[in-house]
Amino acid sequence: MKRIFLLSIVFFCTLSFAFADTSRFFKGKKVIPKMYVTAEDGLRVRDKPNLGSNKICGLSYRIPVKIIAIGKEATIDGITAPWVEILIPRYEWKGKEPEFGWVFGGYLSEEKPKFIEPKNAKELSEYLSSFMSWGFYDKYSEWIGFMHFYADGSFSEIHPSPEDPGYNKKDSSWSDGSKWYGTWKALDKNTFSVSAKNKDNGAERTRTVTLTAITDVWWSEANTGNSGSSMFDPKPVDGVAHHERKTMRDASILKSKGAYLDDYWGPIFPTSSYDDENYTIPADLERKYIEAGIDVYYDSDQFNSYWDPIIAEHQKRADLMK
């Protein structure tokens, strides 16, 4: 009898390790709407729930994704977890229609992983170019303008004029309305160079910038004390909030990886915190946000009525593949 009891314990423990805990992918009977990529080297998205299927794209560490369906279990890298169907981030779509793919759930977490500073020039380049725009501040934390580090190596720096909607009227001393265009390059894990030309007077300048502090949405220069903050920082200085509300009217923001890296604009995360009594997201733009997995009005009926039937249908298909 004792032998049977011990064998039962061993059998139960074996089953516990053999089968994944899929409950962490659900809240009640519904799948968790958003999870984060925890694989530091990134996570492959495939067209089917198996390692032999075609790769669609790759997802960066800490990118949030909208969960669509939970598939069959697999053991990969010693981890047992289900394959998970996701809504591919908008910036990876080939067209205008929502696209879906499968990732291994062992590298997804409901909690956002900690930020890891760039370890080399390649990672610094990806970090700076991931965001659509950086707010640029002087050492006194006064807003100077915007900086743009593009993935193709091009660069721009815009200093708003008093006529610009993002201009801070409380302090005009820093603003000259100048526009600089040129190139940039990451040199190592915390240093980049910029060569730019003033569009109006033709002045040229080249500078090398070393960063002393780098966080997920903010960095600081070593010599000047200047700093950069992602344009989607939820705590902007005066004048920026208006600019950001205006940016929300343009769906191009959805094509920026930074919109997903910064939780303030990530999928499922409402963007209505900046809304004031005079601003409402146009219906056609709201539809584009919903299709991209972003609920702009906190668990809205429009969002749920769009996604609930899609999720139910995809889960049926996933169950048939198990």
How far lies 313's CA from each of 58, 69, 146, 261, 280, in Å? 25, 9, 44, 29, 32
Over residues 141-154, mean pLDDT: 87
In a domain, 51, yes or no: yes
Q: CA 79: distance to chain centroid?
A: 25
Mean pLDDT of the chain: 79
In a domain, 241, yes or no: no
pTM of the predicted protein model:
0.78
Higher pLDDT, 250 or 93: 93
Looking at the fold, whether 106 and 130 belong to one and the same domain comes out as: no
In a domain, 164, yes or no: yes
Which amino acid is present at 78?
G
Confidence of residue 302 (pLDDT cuts 50, 70, 90): confident
Q: What is the CATH number of the domain that holds 142?
A: 2.40.128
> Is residue 68 classed as helix, strand or coil in its secondary structure?
strand
Looking at the fold, whether 162 and 72 belong to one and the same domain comes out as: no
Which residue shows structure tokens 């900086």? 147
Looking at the fold, whether 210 and 129 belong to one and the same domain comes out as: yes
Looking at the fold, whether 229 and 176 belong to one and the same domain comes out as: yes
Burial of 9 (0-12, 13-18, 19+ CB in 10 A): exposed
**How far apart, in whole angstroms, are the C-alpha atoms of residue 211 and residue 233?**
19
Looking at the fold, whether 129 and 66 belong to one and the same domain comes out as: no
In a domain, 291, yes or no: no
In a domain, 127, yes or no: yes
Highest mean pLDDT among 59-73, 222-236, 268-282: 59-73
**What residues contact 44, with CB distance under 8 A and at least 6 apart?**
55, 57, 58, 59, 103
Looking at the fold, whether 106 and 11 belong to one and the same domain comes out as: yes
Confidence of residue 125 (pLDDT cuts 50, 70, 90): very high
> Is residue 92 classed as helix, strand or coil in its secondary structure?
helix
| Domain with 191 in it | 121-234
Looking at the fold, whether 154 and 184 belong to one and the same domain comes out as: yes
Tokens of 173: 């001393």
**How far apart, in whole angstroms, are the C-alpha atoms of residue 63 and residue 43?**
10
**How far apart, in whole angstroms, are the C-alpha atoms of residue 210 and residue 208?**
7
184, 219, 234 - which closes a domain: 234
Confidence of residue 8 (pLDDT cuts 50, 70, 90): very low
Confidence of residue 29 (pLDDT cuts 50, 70, 90): confident
In a domain, 279, yes or no: no
Looking at the fold, whether 98 and 128 belong to one and the same domain comes out as: no
**In this predicted model, what pLDDT tens digit does every residue of 47-103 receive, in sequence order?**
999 999 999 999 999 998 999 999 999 999 999 999 999 999 998 999 989 999 999
Looking at the fold, whether 58 and 85 belong to one and the same domain comes out as: yes
**How far apart, in whole angstroms, are the C-alpha atoms of residue 159 and residue 145?**
4
Host H or E run for residue 6? helix 2-18
Looking at the fold, whether 137 and 102 belong to one and the same domain comes out as: no
81, 114, 147 - which closes a domain: 114
Q: What is the CATH number of the domain that holds 53?
A: 2.30.30.40
Looking at the fold, whether 19 and 44 belong to one and the same domain comes out as: yes
Give Dmax over CA atoms of the chain in angstroms: 93
Q: Is the pLDDT of residue 16 over 50?
A: no
Q: What local confidence, expressed as pLDDT, does residue 201 receive?
A: 86
Tokens of 314: 């995809």
Looking at the fold, whether 105 and 126 belong to one and the same domain comes out as: no
Tell me the sheet residues that pair with 197. 181, 204
Tell me the sheet residues that pair with 227. 137, 220
Tokens of 264: 């303030």
Higher pLDDT, 90 or 262: 90
Burial of 10 (0-12, 13-18, 19+ CB in 10 A): exposed
Domain count, the chain: 2
DSSP letter at 19 equals: S
Higher pLDDT, 294 or 113: 113
In a domain, 7, yes or no: yes
Q: What local confidence, expressed as pLDDT, does residue 87 receive?
A: 97
Which amino acid is present at 269?
F
234, 267, 282 - which closes a domain: 234
Confidence of residue 132 (pLDDT cuts 50, 70, 90): confident
In a domain, 212, yes or no: yes
